[in-house]
Structure 1
């Protein structure tokens, strides 16, 4: 599954959206063949949102649970049907639980020590949080086999810079999972943003062939 995520290059992060907004967004993502979505468990009703999205889009979208760093929310995420889990930092507890349950886990890292510890635990697809272009460039030398996915502030203005700096994929939040646009049902603007991001990434991939 994680290989498919890296191939797609884009993971959309849902945070602070109600169920209707999240469902509308997922419909638009599916229409644009974006299939990886994270529901952040920083919201109280995140498990209900994830559970309902799974009912609507199971088999069409890969729906993960983010901001998972304690066992209570981990269990709620699995009960809601999460296909994978992510945490903002590296959690040995989450690593142990996810290995036991055989669910893909993407831990968060920032420092070289974080990266080394993640590698020692057997993880090489890592969430770089907060996103940092200079770190991506610096980590190419000591950690050439790590697949970094930066999260935080990724937009059409910097997505190609992140990818050319070494990112294997990107996590995109409010630029696309935008509450204001969804509340106003401005789906055309969301569709335009998605198509622009995809075009930029596609253009970058083509130039690297």
Structure 2
């Protein structure tokens, strides 16, 4: 069985499911999988406990239905409680928009993959020194490809992934600039298409990413 990190690195793309209800999750993940994407992040909501509960339900459903064929993680992980709840639901990695040392350490204590978000070289190095496995550069499109190239010159030992504003047209630019992969949200996991039940269109969107 491949490790979670191996799956993330080899496949280069994590699909971000934000605001997709659990009752549509299996069809959504199946469409992504049919399109060649096997790493899925399901996000918590900092505003809604109801949505966060549904996040945990969705993670459990994905893990139960797809098993080791899908690497499922939790997103917008802001607290230690989020880490523990997501781990109990079956999440294999924790992705955050920020750096929280307690979140990173709890993730690693549970034997899971830590992917916190950073903006500056100092933040990237600090997150890695705290135990992060991969550091998420966010928001990547605001930072730009030239920024990625600039910081990956001196920071060669830390795996970086680009998140925020990524789409099929620019994903490879960020990988060529030095990132090990990218994460894509609404440009791929399109809520309107999913709510309309057009999972074939989701599959076709997934197939546009040739990384």
Whether contact under 8 Å (1:67, 1:87) holds in the other structure is yes
Question: Structure 2: 5+ residue runs without aligned partners?
Answer: 46-50
Gaps of 5+ in 1: 202-209
Q: What is the Cα deviation at residue 86 of structure 1?
A: 1.2
Q: Which moved more, 1:180-189 or 1:79-88?
A: 180-189
- Contact 2:7–2:71 (CA under 8 A) maintained in structure 1: no
RMSD (Å) for aligned C-alpha atoms: 1.5
- The whole-number CA distance in structure 2 between the counterparts of 1:164 and 1:174 is 22
- In structure 2, the residue matched to 1:51 is 60
Q: What CA distance in whole angstroms lies between the structure 2 residues aligned with 1:183 and 1:191?
A: 15
Residue aligning to 1:39: 42
TM-score w.r.t. the length of structure 2 is: 0.88
Residue 138 of structure 2 corresponds to residue 126 of structure 1: no
Structure 1, residues 104-126: CA drift from partner, whole Å, max 9, x if none?
11111111111121232243521
Report the Cα distance in structure 2 between the residues aligned to 1:86 and 1:95, rounded to whole angstroms.
10
Aligned to 2:180: 168
**Any idea what SS the aligned residue of 2:69 has?**
coil
Asked if 1 retains the 8 angstrom alpha-carbon contact of 2:114 and 2:133, the reply is no
The range that moved more, 131-140 or 105-114, is: 131-140
Query: Per-residue deviation at 1:41?
Result: 1.0
Aligned to 1:67: 76
Could you tell me which residue of structure 1 aligns to residue 48 of structure 2?
none
TM-score normalised over the length of structure 1:
0.89
CA contact (8 A) 2:159 2:180 kept: yes
Measure, in 1, the Cα distance between the counterparts of 2:65 and 2:103. 27
Mapped to 1, the partners of 2:192 and 2:128 lie a distance apart of 39
Deviations 1:81-108 (A, max 9, x none): 1111111111110122122211111111
Asked if 2 retains the 8 angstrom alpha-carbon contact of 1:136 and 1:166, the reply is yes
1:20-169 correspondence runs (5 A):
20-42=23-45, 43-44=51-52, 45-131=54-140, 132=143, 133-169=145-181
Task: Report the Cα distance in structure 2 between the residues aligned to 1:136 and 1:124, rounded to whole angstroms.
Answer: 18
Shift of 1:138: 1.3
The answer to whether the aligner puts 1:195 opposite 2:195 as a matched pair is: no
Deviation of 1:135 after TM superposition, in Å, equals 2.3
Q: Contact 1:124–1:145 at 8 Å: present in 2 too?
A: no
1:162 & 1:60 partners in 2: Cα distance? 26
Number of aligned residue pairs = 199
Shift of 1:192: 1.9
Contact 2:7 2:39 in 1 (8 A): no
